[in-house]
Structure formats: structure tokens, C-alpha cells
Structure 1
């Protein structure tokens, strides 16, 4: 019964939503990578992957989360050694 609970698409969809909200509160692309992985598992389950067990689902989730995080980091992170600095006030 517990293995069937993890095969429900809405559980993964809710996890993706919660992780995306966490990304807004704690930026850094980590939670967004996990949210993309959970959304991908949701899509997999909606497209007919309901017979997949928990272990393969977790493997797909982990692999896609890592790939998404690496892509996000490459696209949006600053080059190595650079730090964002602000030399003016937003109210000026």
C-alpha cells in the first residue's frame, strides 16, 4: 500500500509545487532543480507510468533533479570568482 502511494501523480505534483515555493523563499537553484525533477516524475506518471515502483521513481527524480540543477547553475550563476556587488542605492 505504501508503494502505491508514491505512484500517485498528485503526490509528486504537490511536492513540485512545495519545492518551487521554497525556491522563492530560499533562492539558489537547489529547490528549483528538485521541483523540476518532481514535475518530470509527475508528467511520467500522468503519461502512463503508474506501474513503476518507488525505487525507479526515486532514481528518475534524483537524476532529473541533478541534471536540472546543473543546467540552471550553468545558465544563471555568475562566473567563478565573481560576486554580485551593488554600488548604488535602489532609492537613488
Structure 2
């Protein structure tokens, strides 16, 4: 089946990573990391069906998203507030 082919997961991860370039916000990057990791695990020889692959994909994606949120997120979960406009002199 197509979901057991390692390069399909890696290509999907690269396409999702390209979507991150168009739609920034570190949302799609976690899914890209999950997809590429799943592809690498398949390449290394893991034998799993679709449900197990989807669980691996979901857990790795969630872990990558949490890690990136921790590294790249604003401190304390705060929101950036702009005090002046770029056009002000």
C-alpha cells in the first residue's frame, strides 16, 4: 500500500514544509517533521500498518510542535504588543 512506502511520507513532509513557507506560524512545520520522521522510520525497516503509522505521525508532530512552541514562542505565552507604528516619525 502507498502509506507503507517511505519516500511518500518524506515527499509529503517536504510539501507540508513548503506550505509552511507560504503560511508561517510554525503550525505546518510540526506536521512536516512528523511526516519526515515517519518516512525515516519506514526506511529503517519498521513494519507497521496504517493505524500505527498515523499514531507515530501524530505523536511526533505533536512533540515537534510543543518543542518549537517552547523554543520559538513568546515568553510566558504573552502576545506581542506594538506601541508605535512603523510610519510614525
User: Which TM bucket (shorter chain)?
Assistant: 0.7 to 0.9
Q: How does 1:12-23 map to 2 (within 5 A)?
A: 12-23=9-20
Query: Which structure 2 segments of 5+ residues have no match?
Result: none
Q: Number of aligned pairs?
A: 87
- The TM-score, its normalising length taken from structure 2, stands at 0.87
Please name the residue that 2:70 is paired with: 74
- The TM-score, its normalising length taken from structure 1, stands at 0.84
Q: How does 1:1-92 map to 2 (within 5 A)?
A: 4-49=1-46, 51-79=47-75, 80-83=77-80, 85=82, 87=84, 89=86
The change in CA–CA distance for 1:87 and 1:62 in structure 2 (over 3 A counts) is: same
Query: Which structure 1 segments of 5+ residues have no match?
Result: none
- More divergent stretch after superposition (60-69 vs 76-85): 76-85
**RMSD, matched Cα:** 2.0
Instruction: Give the ranges of 4+ consecutive aligned residues of structure 1 lying more than 4 Å apart after TM superposition.
Output: 86-89
* Separation of aligned partners in 2, 1:84 and 1:21: 29
